[in-house]
Structures are given as C-alpha cells and as structure tokens.
Amino acid sequence: MKEYDKLSLTCTILLLALATAGIRAETALTPLEQLCAGHKVEACIARAPSGKIMLLIDDEPQPLFWANLTSGQDPNYRRAGFNTVFAELGYPGPGDDAPLEQQFRAWDNVLLNIKERGLYVIIYIHNSIHAHAGEVPWAFDRSWRDYVQAIVRRYRGVTNLIGWCFSDELADALSYSDEAFRVFLKNEYDSIKALNAAWSSDFSDFDQIKLEYQRDGHGRPEKSMVTPAFPFGIGPKAFDSARFKVNHIAYANEQFEAVIREVDPITPIWSGANNIGWAATQIPTTWGAFFDFYPGNSGHDYNTHHVWMVDIGRGPNLRPAMQMLLSENSSSYNWHLDARVIRGWMVESALHGAAGVTFWPWSFLGVDNRTGDRSSSTERIDMCGMTIRMLEASGIFEMLPRPTIAVMYQPYAEGWGALSQVYGVLRYPSKEPIALFRELKYGTKYGQIDYLTNRHLDRDDLADYGVILAPFTADLSTEQMDRLAEYVHGGGVLLADIGFGCVQAGKVVTGMTDQAKRLFGIRGLKVSYAAPGRWVATGAYSELLGGLRKDVDATQKLHEMVLDATPSTSKAALKGPGGQGLYVNRFGKGYAIFCSALAWSSPNSTDPLMRKIHEALFARRAGISMASLNAGQPSRPGEFEPAWEKAVQEPYFASGCEIVRYSKGYALHNRLDAHATIQVRSNDKLEEHTLAPRSVILVKRDQIIPLGSGVWPVVLGPKQ
C-alpha cells in the first residue's frame, strides 16, 4: 500500500473515531443537562387577553391540572387530563443526613422522567429540608437560605419548570415562638407599662409574656383577661396575638420570595397548600395559590368542597387560585368515590374563577377495589379527563368573573362569630364558617362575590361594587378608612357591624375611631349586657329599601350594645338599654350602615327581613340578575312564577340556581334535582334557559355551551 493511501486510511479512521466520539458526546448528556436542553418555556403570572390574572406560558393563558403524590409515571396520568406534576423535593424524612449532592442525583432523574412525559413541573421545596436549618421546623437562617438557593440554582434552567412552591400548610408548619411574639409586642408598645394599661395586666417585664394556643387557637386570652371591658375575653391581647401570627405568616412568605428572587427573578412562585383561612389572606398578590380545605377538617362543605376559598384566593382578580380536592377520606366517608361527585366539584371550581384543578392524592383516581368504591378507577380517570377537556374547550378558565358584591375578609371575622376566639376559618369546626360565608358560597341571584382584604382597598375599581359587607372588620388604618369613606361618598353602600376599625381604637370591640364615627354618624359605643336582641330596620333604611316593616326580629345576637347617634342619623326603632338596630347614615352620595351587634354571627338568610335587606343591597349596580326560576318539568315559554320568594327556599342567597357574570357572558348552574326554567336579565336583555337537574351551561357570545352535571355527595357518615 502506498504511503498516501496509508495516510488517507489513517485519517479516515481518525475522522470516524472523532465523529463517533462526537455522537457519544451528544448522547451522553447527564440528566441535568437533558433537563435544561431544548425550548425553555417562559412562565409568568400576568393578565390574560380576557383581563383575568392567570399563569401564562409563552404568553398564552394556561390552566393547570395535577394530582399530588405522584411523578406522573402512571400512563393514566395524561389520560386523566393532567398537564402538570407537583414535584416534592424532600428528603426521605426529617433529620436525614444525606448530602444534598446525593439528593440532587435522585431528583434529577425524577424531574427528567416528568419532562420526558411532556408535563410541566412545579418544584416544591419540601418542609423536611428545613430540619437541617437550625430551629425545627422553621428558621430563616443562612443554612436554610443556602439549601433553598442551591436547589433553585440547580433547577432554574429546567425547560418545563413553571413554578417554585413554598411550604405546604404553612400556618401549621411555622413556629410561633414566645420570643418572636415579644419582639412584635415591643414594636407595638413603647413600654411594659403601656402594654399593661392596654391589656389590663400587671407584667413587670416583656419576658414574662407567652403566646398561648399556638396551633388551632389564634389569640384566645388568659381567663384572667376576661373583664366587663372585654366581652368574652376579646381584648387587646387577643388582637395582638392574632395580628402577630398573621404578620409572621406574611414574613415567612416574604423571606421565601426574597431568597428565590436572589437567584431566579423570573419563575412564578406558588403558595403551597393552605388549610387555614387567616393564613391564606397573607399570600402575596404576585403568587399563585391553592388550598386544601378538606370537608370534615375545615367545615363540612361536602357540596362544593369549600369553593368559597377560590373566591378568597383569587381576590378581586389578583392571582391564579385553585382548590385541592380531597378525593379520599376513607376513615370516615366513602361518598367521595363517586366519579360524578368529582365532576360536580370540578365544574363548581371553574364557575368560581379557578385557574385549574388539583387533587390529593393521585392514588384515589388510579386505584380500584377499596372499601366503599362506587366507581372504578377507569370511570374516575375518564370522568376527570372528560371534564378537564370539556372545561378547557369552553374557555371558562380564562373568563374573568365580574362580581358587584364584595365582602371585607379579615382574619378575625369568623372566630369572633363563634363566641370563642379572634381568628379566621375554624380549624375543626362543627359546621362551616360564619353564616355569611356559608350563605354566599353560591353567590346571589345577582352574581357571585369578591373577597377583599385591606391591601385591596387602594384599587381604582371599588366603585364597581354596589355594596361592601364588612363583618367584624377590626383592623383598618387611617388611609384604608379614608378609602372606604371615599367609596361611600361616591355612591357606594357599606354595611358594617360591631368592632369596625376597633384595633385602631384601643383593640376593644366597643372601640371606634373618630373617622368611623363620622362615617356612620355615631357619637359612641358602650357595652350593655349579653342577651338575645333584635335587629330592626330604621325608618331611613325602610325608605331606602322601599317600605320594609320596622320592629321585626331579624337574627339572634351575641350581645347588645347601646348607641348614641347624632340627630342627623336615623335612630333605631328599638331604643334604650339593650336596644340595637341598623343605623343608616347618608354620607355623600352613598349610605354608611352600622349594625350595633354581630350582624352575621348566626344563620340569617332565611329571615324575611334579613333576606330583603341583602337582596336590595345585592341588586345595586348588578349587571345581571335572575328574573325567575320555575322548578319541575320544563314550562312552556312565558310561564314563570312572578315572585322570587316562591322559588325553592334554602339557607343561601342563590336559591336553586347559581349565576355567574363574566366580562363576556355568564354561566348558570341548576342546583335542583329537577328541571328548571330560568329567566336571566343580562344588560337589560331577558333570556330564557331550561336546564336539566344539576346541570351547568356557559353562555358566551350568544353561544350556549353545556358543561355537564354532577351529583351531591351522599354522606354516609362514620363507618360502624
């Protein structure tokens, strides 16, 4: 062989070797390199074309669907309609000393499997990791920051990553130390002498003070604190401990966001499941949020699975919010294993403006043959997939709800109404939260509800609300009180009750700031005696609503107050010690209405006077209303019951049929077990629809889109 032939052969061999090595180099990517290869989706929480705040992926609104406790490997996961995996990056258990690098290798493979299945991923930085960060279970020290940032730094380039997730059930996981409480109190009071004067206590030093009832309780004072000045013991210490816990939750969220944003300024942040309402109010408005309010643990709302938490979570179009549906609770119930119940929950969630649907756990949908099964896993998976595809195709997840009714929601409201403590949603109550929440969970015949917190009062669109209800809205700054006064002066109606703004007036429920007194036209409040009383409509209120009868019992009160109203303010029809009522003050173009007791402390929507009052308020500025409902067999056109009161009576303000107003269209949900013919007045146009039992329709641009039907859960009760 000639020399140049030998040289050519040698070069060819070398080139082949190099090419082969190149192919191997390309195919031998590490799992982490594969995770970061390809198109990187751009995920953000922003305004969709409809105006609704949603998760956007590559500038397109994207509802999310996932089930917890799975990596999405089950081939049925996609079949069930899920597009996302909630990946829990946790150590095998708290206290495990496995090096972080060792955990990274395991997590790389889990995340790669998710990507290969074409699913989005939200990375949950699990609680157990924080067992290595100082005081258990939470300490925001350098060690904790290093752990979090190491995870974010490693995975921020993952192409299918759409979110980082903070603590699951934060309010339960967070430590509320006595030391931190004392720091809070020192910022509230200049000296221990000032604290003692407010608390009616005799501490010699801040170090003597302890925070009580750290978990389920939220501010119950010591028995020695109960005095005539603090009815039921609700005084400054109760407010201070409640405010401390709420502020501590907000601080934890701020710390997590700051640590993430130092490394990754772009990827959305998600709240982690929230199981206590007062903590849910502190989720930053820039985050996504989801809630695990499970029937039996946080009230017994088996029909809608606490769908009002979607309303609280989304706020007045602030963030994407979702329920986490508890699909199994087999120790006590088995009704939840019916596929039709799942569909009902999912559709209800979509009606309330949810940004998607999540489940806990995946095993419920994918496992057969457990005690009490009413449907096979195939039925449940197919029902879930069909419902998700149907809801997505309808566009309902992208439609912006437009309520004209708002409720001020503060962490104090419900516990006060429960006669025991000052806190939010009860942890293990015997029934749902305060009557107002329960009775508004389906909205009203004039649409649904927005829930406002203090941070929402600076919005420009407050004037869109015909009425703002303020149940025990105790904490209002000077600026926030001014904003509410501006709302009323411009033509709004504010209905408040005892305790309004009292944190700024000595943290006593009978306190009222000068601003509030001017707004309601009241000179002062003082405690009378604890006894049932009457809620009566004043003459001006009667005139406002068109001739209501006065001196009619409306609801039972916790205790009665004595008011001294100015001559320009309508006086209660029932006067004297123990007298109370609705005090109506014309303020600018609007009305400031004050109830001298706890207005929503017991069920009330079945009371004729209460119902008339609320329905008159709900009708203000409503862009939609239900004109009539005729239950039974479908009626012939034009045959309607003329009076709404003849509709099926329930303890809700949306009897029989739920109506939702969107920026472009509306939805109807027939909640009856019979056909219903419904007339709807939308933008002065009267339209008629006949709905099958339990069915839902979406009316969008004159197109009627069926959304299927569900069933009520059949609660069988505890197993014998």
pLDDT-derived band at 130 (thresholds 50, 70, 90) equals low
Predicted pLDDT at 85:
97
| Buried/exposed code over 61-96 (b: 16+ C-beta within 10 A; e: otherwise) | bbbbbbbbebbbebebbeebbbbbbbbbbbbeeeee
φ, ψ of residue 563 in degrees (nearest 5): -110, 150
How many Cβ atoms are within 10 Å of 671's Cβ, its own excluded? 25
Whether the CB-CB separation of 631 and 652 falls below 8 Å is answered with no
Q: What is the pLDDT of residues 477-519, one digit of tens each?
A: 999 999 999 999 999 999 998 789 999 999 887 788 999 999 9
CATH (one of 3.40.50.2000, 3.40.50.2300, 3.40.120.10, 3.40.50.880) for 405-618: 3.40.50.880
Q: Is the pLDDT of residue 258 over 90?
A: yes
| For residue 283, pLDDT beyond 80 | yes
Q: Which of 112-116, 132-136, 182-186, 679-683 is predicted with the least confidence, judged by mean pLDDT?
A: 132-136
Distances (CA, A) of 638 to 222, 542, 671: 63, 33, 22
Cα–Cα separations (whole angstroms), residue 314 to 47, 52, 194, 195, 355:
13, 10, 39, 37, 9
Helix, strand, coil shares, percent, the chain, to 5:
35, 20, 45
Asked if 715 and 302 touch (Cβ cutoff 8 Å), the reply is yes
Which pTM does this prediction carry? 0.86
* Paired strand residues for 290: 273, 322
The pLDDT score that the predictor gives to residue 604 is 64
Query: Is the pLDDT reported for residue 607 higher than 90?
Result: no
675 pLDDT higher than 60: yes
CA-based nearest residue to 48, from 492, 322, 403, 353: 353
Single-letter amino acid code for the residue at 303: N
Give residue 174's pLDDT band: very low, low, confident or very high (50, 70, 90). confident
Q: How confident is the model at residue 527 (pLDDT cuts 50, 70, 90)?
A: low
pLDDT of residue 195: 95
pLDDT (tens digit, 9 = 90+) per residue, 535-553? Answer: 444 444 344 443 333 443 3
pLDDT at 263: 98
| pLDDT over threshold 80, residue 321 | yes
pLDDT confidence bin for 100, thresholds 50/70/90: confident
- pLDDT tens per residue across span 445-475: 999 999 998 888 988 889 999 999 998 898 9
Burial of 21 (0-12, 13-18, 19+ CB in 10 A): exposed
- CATH code of the region 43-173+249-397: 3.20.20.80
On the question of pLDDT at 128 being above 70, the answer is: no
In 117-235, which ranges are continuous DSSP H helix? 142-155, 170-173, 178-188, 192-199
Q: How far apart are CA 349 and CA 291, in angstroms?
A: 12
Percent of the chain beyond pLDDT 70? 72
| Tens-place pLDDT, residues 333-387 | 555 567 888 899 999 999 999 999 999 888 878 777 666 667 788 888 999 999 9
Residue ranges per domain, the chain? Answer: 3-35, 43-173+249-397, 178-246, 405-618, 624-709
The whole-number pLDDT of residue 345 equals: 92
**Can 43-173+249-397 and 405-618 be said to share one CATH topology?**
no
Specify the pLDDT at position 548: 37
Average pLDDT, the chain: 78
Determine the average pLDDT of the residues in 300-317: 88
Instruction: Give the pair of three-digit tokens for residue 67.
Output: 């089930």
CA–CA distance from 485 to each of 220, 517, 569, 622 (Å)?
32, 11, 16, 21
